[in-house]
Amino acid sequence: MTVANYSEDSIRTLDWKEHIRKRPGMYVGKLGDGTSQDDGIYILLKEVIDNSIDEFMMGFGKTIEIIINENLVQVRDYGRGIPLGKVKDVASKMNTGAKYDSKVFKKSVGLNGVGIKAVNALSSNFIIKSFREGMVKEVSFTEGNLITDENESATELKNGTLISFVPDPQLFGNFRYIEDYVELMVRNYVYLNSGLTINYNGEKYFSKNGLLDLLTETVNGEGLYPIIHLKEEDIELAMTHGVQYGEMYYAFVNGQHTTQGGTHLIAFREALVKTIREFYKKDYDPSDIRASISAAFSIKIEEPVFESQTKTKLGSKDVGPNGPSIRNFIGEFVKTKLDNYLHKHPDVADALQRKIIDSEKERKAISGIKKIARERAKKANLHNRKLRDCRIHFNSNDERRLETTIFITEGDSASGSITKSRDVNTQAVFSLKGKPLNTYGLTKKVVYENEEFNLLQAALDIEDDLESLRYHNVVIATDADVDGMHIRLLLITFFLQFFPDLVRKGHLYILQTPLFRVRNKKETIYCYSIEEKLGAMDKLGANSEITRFKGLGEISPDEFKHFIGKDIHLDPVRIKKGDEISELLPFYMGKNTPERQDFIIDNLRVEEDLVEA
C-alpha cells in the first residue's frame, strides 16, 4: 500500500472563490440542474433577491425587477444602492457587508457576508452595478475573478442596485430555471412584504393581505372554516383546517422560507396544541388538533441563526440578543390572539372542534390496525428485500443529504438493474409487487391494511409527518409503457391522497430513462424522444445501430449507471397554482365519466412514426 507523503507541501490555503467552487455544497446545498426547487441555481437567485428585500424591509425601494432570459438573470432594486467605494468588496471579499451593523439592517436574512460572494464565484459571468446619488459604479467578474472595475460616472437613473449573472454551466451543467419555481419564490416574497411590488418577466406581483393571500390561494376554498388571520409587529399567522391528510405549513423567518422548519415551527405547533386544549378544556391528542391543518406564519427576529448557508432551517432560540425566547414569543402570541379570535367567532370554534373530534374518531378506528401494521413492517424490513437502503438519509447532518433518493420500481428485473447501478451511499430502491391499489376515495385505513402501502410508508418514514422523511427525492421509476404509466398514476394518487405535502414540497419525481440507443463503432447516443432519435441517426449515419428500450429491466446495470448518475433525468411532480387535489383526483382516478372520455379523445396524440420506431 502506497502512503502519500504528508509534508508542508500538503497544506494548502484556498482563496475565497476557490473554496466556494471546490465546496459549493456548503454555500448552495446541492448543485442540480434546476429540476428541484432546492437546486443551487434557485439559491443563487434567492441570495441576490434577499439583499433587495432587506433594503425594502429597511424602508427603501418598493419595487424589484427580475428578468430571467434563458440562463441570464438580472435583479434590479431601487434601494439606497451600495456605497460606491465598496461595490467590489461586497462582491469579492468574504465576511464583508453592512449586515454586521444591526442598526443598518436590523432584521435581515443574510448576516454572514457570504451570499453574494457565492453567487459571484459560482457564475460564469457576474456584473454588479450600484446607482447612488447621481453616480454609478460597475464591476464585473468571471468565476469570481475580477474582469473590469469601471470608474464612477454620472447617471440619471434612480438609486439602487443591478446584479446580472449566469450560473456557471461547468458546475450546474445543462440547467434551466423552471418558471413555476421562480413564480412561487416571487409570490412568497410579496406575501411576506405587504406593499412590495415585484415585476418578474413583465408580470406584476403584489399582495395586499400578506399571509392571508398566500393561504387563500393555497387552500383554494377547501378550508372547513374561514381562514384565521392574526398579526402583530414581527409576527403573522394565517390558518385553517381542511379535508386533506397531513399537516401543511409555510414557515418564514425574516422573509426566508424555512422549508425544513426549525425552532419557530416547533414552537408554533406546541403553542397551537396548548391554546386549543385550554380553549376547549379538553386534553385532545396533538395529532388530532393538527390533523389536516394548513398554516402560514412568519416571524422577524434579530441576528437569526440558520443551520446551513441555504437558510432552510432555523436554529435560533431567542428573537434577539435582549429579547424573549422564540418559544415564549410565539406561545404568547398564539395564546392571546387565537384564544380571543375563537371567543369572538363561535361558528369557527364549533367547526374546528368538529374537525378535531372527527380526526380523533378516525385515529382511534385505525389505532389497532396501525400497531399490527408497524410490526409487519419491521418484520418485512428484516426478512425480505423490498427495500435496499442507502447509507445516508435526508434527516441526517451529512453534506450529501439533499442527494438522498429512493427509487420506487416494479418487478425484480427493474429493481435489480437499479440496485446494481446505484450509489449505495445516497440511493435506495423499493420494489413493488404488481400494480398498487387505486386509493382514490379510500380512508387512511387502507395505508395500514395494504401490505405494499404499509411497507412503502414505513420505508419513507412519513406516517405522522414529513419531519422524519428519509429521502429528499422520492422517484417513481417505471417502464415507459401503458402498464408503467398506470403504476405512475396509482402511486401519484396515493401520495396526493394521503401525503400531499410530499408533492407540495417538491420531493416527488418521475425517472425518465431513454427510449432509444443509437450507436456506431465510435459513439453512443441515448435518446429520450423520437425527435432525439432522428437527430442521432442524422449525426451517426444510416448504418448506425438502433435499439428500442421496452423496459427498465432490459437496460444493463453498466448502462443504467448513466441514467441515475449525475446526468439523471427527473421530471418533478408539481401542483401548480389553481390545481385543486379535490378536483384532480375524482376527474382522473374516479369513475369513468363522459367528461374524462371526452378529455382523452380531445387530447389523444398519435405519433406518426411510432410504429416505424
Distance CA 468, CA 450 (A): 22
Q: Which residues pair with 129 in a beta bridge?
A: 138, 162
φ, ψ for residue 297, nearest 5 deg: -145, 150
More confident residue, 395 or 66: 66
User: Does an H or E element contain 296, and which?
Assistant: strand 293-299
Cell of 155: 447617471
Please, which pLDDT band fits residue 11 given cuts at 50, 70 and 90?
low
Distance CA 101, CA 471 (A): 39
| Mean pLDDT in residue range 328-341 | 95
Q: CA nearest 131: which of 89, 83, 86? A: 83
Distance CA 585, CA 601 (A): 19
Classify residue 314 as exposed, middle or buried by CB count within 10 Å of its CB (0-12, 13-18, 19+).
Answer: buried
**DSSP secondary structure string for all residues of 62-115:** SEEEEEEETTEEEEEE-SS---GGGHHHHHHSTT-SSTT-TTTSTT-S--SS-H
Residues carrying CATH 3.30.230.10, the chain? 211-362
Q: Are 513 and 555 in contact (CB under 8 A)?
A: yes
Distance CA 357, CA 212 (A): 26
| Mean pLDDT in residue range 210-232 | 88
- pLDDT, tens digit (0-9, with 9 covering 90-100), for 400-450: 888 899 999 987 777 888 888 899 999 999 998 888 888 888 888 888 888
Cell of 180: 413555476
The CATH number of domain 384-513+549-603, selected from 3.40.50.2300, 3.30.460.10, 3.40.50.670, 3.60.90.10: 3.40.50.670
- pLDDT, tens digit (0-9, with 9 covering 90-100), for 276-287: 999 999 999 999
Chain Cα centroid distance, residue 571: 14
pLDDT at 213: 92
Distance CA 173, CA 570 (A): 14
Residues carrying CATH 3.40.50.670, the chain? 384-513+549-603
Cell of 606: 398519435
pLDDT at 306: 79
- pLDDT, tens digit (0-9, with 9 covering 90-100), for 48-101: 998 898 888 888 999 999 999 989 999 999 999 999 999 998 988 875 555 444
Q: Which residues pair with 473 in a beta bridge?
A: 405
Helix (H, G, I), strand (E, B) or coil at 422: coil
pLDDT at 10: 58
Helix (H, G, I), strand (E, B) or coil at 191: helix
The CATH number that domain 211-362 falls under is 3.30.230.10
Q: Are 211 and 296 in contact (CB under 8 A)?
A: yes
pLDDT at 387: 87
pLDDT at 237: 95
Residues carrying CATH 3.30.565.10, the chain? 16-206
Distance CA 495, CA 480 (A): 20
**Average pLDDT score over the chain:** 85
- pLDDT, tens digit (0-9, with 9 covering 90-100), for 505-515: 889 999 988 88
Residue 570 has pLDDT above 60, yes or no: yes
Q: Are 510 and 573 in contact (CB under 8 A)?
A: yes
pLDDT at 612: 44
Superfamily per CATH, domain 16-206: Histidine kinase-like ATPase, C-terminal domain (3.30.565.10)
φ, ψ for residue 571, nearest 5 deg: -105, 120
* 162 CB-near residues (< 8 Å, 6+ apart): 74, 75, 76, 127, 128, 129, 131
Regarding pTM above 0.85, the answer is: no
| Residue % of the chain over a pLDDT of 70 | 89
Q: CA nearest 25: which of 179, 193, 172? A: 172
Classify residue 514 as exposed, middle or buried by CB count within 10 Å of its CB (0-12, 13-18, 19+).
Answer: buried
More confident residue, 6 or 83: 83
Please, which pLDDT band fits residue 108 given cuts at 50, 70 and 90?
low
Helix (H, G, I), strand (E, B) or coil at 459: helix
Chain Cα centroid distance, residue 442: 28
